[in-house]
C-alpha cells in the first residue's frame, strides 16, 4: 500500500527540490526587508518580469541540455544573432514585424541543426561545439549588423516584450483580468496535482500526507495571487509573462509526460543503458539542440523587443546566467536530474538577488561576487546531497 509522508520525511526525501523552494522564500523575505518593501512593490515586480524574462526562457532549454549530460555556451551569441537578423529584416529592409520574428526563429532552428549535427552525428563534445558556436555566432551577429546597432523597432514588435493586457474585464484601480487569469491558473494547477497524486496512489507510490498536499496548494495559490495582485495594481498582465507561462507549461509537459522527455532523462542518467534499451540518442541530441536554438531565438526576440534595438553585443554572459539558473534550480552536474520549474525558480533567485542588490545600491563587482558564491554553494549542495543519498542507500 502506498505510504504518506510527513513534513520531515518529505523534506528529506526531496531535499534537492524542497531546499530550493525554501531558499527562494528566504531570499525574497530577506531582500524585502533589506529594501524596505521596495522589492515587492507593484512597479518593481513588473520590471522584474520584463528584465529577466529572456534569461528564464533560456533556462528552460538549458536545463534539458544539462539533464541530457551536455552544456551550451553559445546561447548568448545566438540571442545576439537572432536579434540581429530580426533587426535587419524589420528595420533595415522595412518588412513587417512578424517577418522578422519568423526570420529570427528560422535562424535559431538552423543554429540548432548546425550544433546538433556536430554533437549527435560527429561525436564532438557539446562543450567544444558550443564554445566554437559562441565565437562563430557572435562574429556573425557583428557581420550581419556591420558592428553597429539598429533601432527602433515598430510598436508591434516592441509589444512582444513591453506590452500589457489591461482592462479586459474592468476593475476599479486594478486589472481584474490579471486576477482572474491567476485564479484560473491555480485551479488548473490544483487539478493537475490532484490527478498526479491519484496516479501515484494507484501505482502504490509514496505521496505526501493529505494535509500537506492541500497546504502546498494553498501556499502556492497564495503566492501566485499575491504576485498577481501586485501586477494588477501596476500596468496589468505583461504579454511576455503569458509567453513565459505557456513555455513552462509546454516544456513541463514534454519533459515529464512524453517519450522524448523520458529519453532525455534516461540519457543523462545512464547513456549506455539508454542506448541498450533502444533510445535513439543521436536523434534525441539533435532535437535537443534544435530546441535550444529555437528558445534562444525566442529570447533574442524578447530581448531585442525589450531594448528596442538589435545590438551586436546583445546576450553577453546570458549563457552563464542560464546555466546558473539550471544548477541553482536543482539540476545535477552529472546529468539525469533537473526540472523545468526548478530552473525557473533558480532563475528567479538570481533575478531577485540582482534586483534587490541594485535597489540597495550594491556595486556591480560585489553583485558578481555574491552571485558566484551562490552558484558555488548550490553545486556544492548538489554534490553533498548525492553523496548523502549514496551512503544511505
Q: Against a cut of 0.85, is the pTM above it?
A: yes
Contact 313, 139 (CB under 8 A): no
- pLDDT of 172 reads 63
Helix (H) or strand (E) holding 279: none
Which residues neighbour 136 within 8 Å (Cβ) at sequence distance 6 or greater? 74, 77
Q: How far is CA 107 from CA 148, 170, 244, 289, 299, in A?
A: 20, 40, 21, 13, 13
Q: Which residues pair with 207 in a beta bridge?
A: 4
- pLDDT tens for the 393 residues of the chain, in order: 455 555 555 555 555 556 677 788 888 888 999 999 898 888 888 888 888 999 999 999 999 999 999 999 999 999 999 999 999 999 999 999 999 999 999 999 999 999 999 999 999 999 999 999 999 999 999 999 998 999 899 999 999 998 888 777 766 667 888 888 889 888 988 888 888 888 888 887 777 778 878 888 888 888 889 888 888 888 788 899 989 989 998 998 898 889 999 999 999 888 889 888 888 999 999 999 999 999 999 999 999 999 999 999 999 989 999 999 998 888 888 888 888 988 998 899 899 999 999 999 989 899 889 888 888 887 787 677 667 666 655
Helix (H) or strand (E) holding 349: helix 340-360
Rg (CA), the chain: 21
- pLDDT of 1 reads 42
The sign of the dihedral angle between the CA atoms of 188, 297, 119, 326 is negative
Amino acid at each position: 500500500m502506498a505510504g504518506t509522508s510527513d513534513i520531515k520525511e518529505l523534506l528529506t526525501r526531496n531535499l534537492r527540490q524542497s531546499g530550493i523552494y525554501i531558499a527562494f522564500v528566504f531570499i525574497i523575505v530577506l531582500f524585502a526587508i533589506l529594501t524596505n518593501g521596495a522589492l515587492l512593490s507593484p512597479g518593481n515586480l513588473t520590471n522584474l518580469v520584463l528584465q529577466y524574462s529572456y534569461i528564464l526562457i533560456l533556462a528552460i532549454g538549458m536545463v534539458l541540455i544539462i539533464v541530457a549530460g551536455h552544456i551550451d555556451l553559445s546561447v548568448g551569441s545566438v540571442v545576439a544573432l537572432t536579434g540581429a537578423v530580426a533587426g535587419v529584416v524589420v528595420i533595415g529592409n522595412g518588412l513587417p514585424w512578424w517577418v522578422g520574428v519568423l526570420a529570427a526563429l528560422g535562424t535559431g532552428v538552423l543554429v540548432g541543426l548546425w550544433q546538433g549535427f556536430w554533437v549527435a552525428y560527429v561525436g564532438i563534445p557539446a562543450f567544444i561545439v558550443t564554445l566554437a558556436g559562441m565565437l562563430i555566432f557572435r562574429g556573425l551577429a557583428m557581420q550581419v549588423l556591420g558592428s553597429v546597432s539598429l533601432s527602433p523597432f515598430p510598436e508591434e514588435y516592441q509589444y512582444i516584450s513591453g506590452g500589457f493586457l489591461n482592462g479586459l474585464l474592468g476593475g476599479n484601480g486594478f486589472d481584474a483580468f490579471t486576477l482572474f487569469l491567476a485564479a484560473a491558473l491555480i485551479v488548473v494547477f490544483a487539478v493537475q496535482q490532484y490527478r498526479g497524486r491519484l496516479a501515484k496512489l494507484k501505482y502504490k507510490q509514496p505521496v505526501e500526507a493529505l494535509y500537506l498536499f492541500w497546504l502546498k496548494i494553498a501556499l502556492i495559490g497564495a503566492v501566485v495571487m499575491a504576485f498577481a495582485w501586485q501586477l494588477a495594481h501596476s500596468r496589468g498582465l505583461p504579454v511576455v509573462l503569458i509567453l513565459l507561462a505557456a513555455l513552462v507549461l509546454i516544456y513541463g509537459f514534454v519533459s515529464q509526460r512524453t517519450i522524448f522527455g523520458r529519453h532525455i532523462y534516461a540519457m543523462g542518467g545512464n547513456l549506455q543503458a539508454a542506448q541498450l534499451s533502444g533510445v535513439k540518442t543521436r536523434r534525441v541530441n539533435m532535437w535537443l539542440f534544435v530546441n535550444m536554438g529555437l528558445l534562444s531565438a525566442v529570447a533574442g526576440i524578447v530581448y531585442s523587443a525589450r531594448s528596442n534595438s538589435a545590438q551586436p553585443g546583445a546576450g553577453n554572459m546570458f549563457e552563464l546566467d542560464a546555466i546558473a539558473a539550471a544548477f541553482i534550480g536543482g539540476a545535477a552536474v552529472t546529468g539525469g536530474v533537473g526540472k523545468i520549474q526548478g530552473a525557473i525558480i533558480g532563475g528567479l533567485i538570481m533575478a531577485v538577488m540582482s534586483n534587490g542588490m541594485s535597489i540597495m545600491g550594491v556595486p556591480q563587482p560585489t553583485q558578481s561576487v555574491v552571485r558566484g558564491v551562490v552558484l558555488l554553494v548550490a553545486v556544492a549542495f548538489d554534490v553533498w546531497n548525492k553523496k548523502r543519498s549514496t551512503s544511505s542507500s
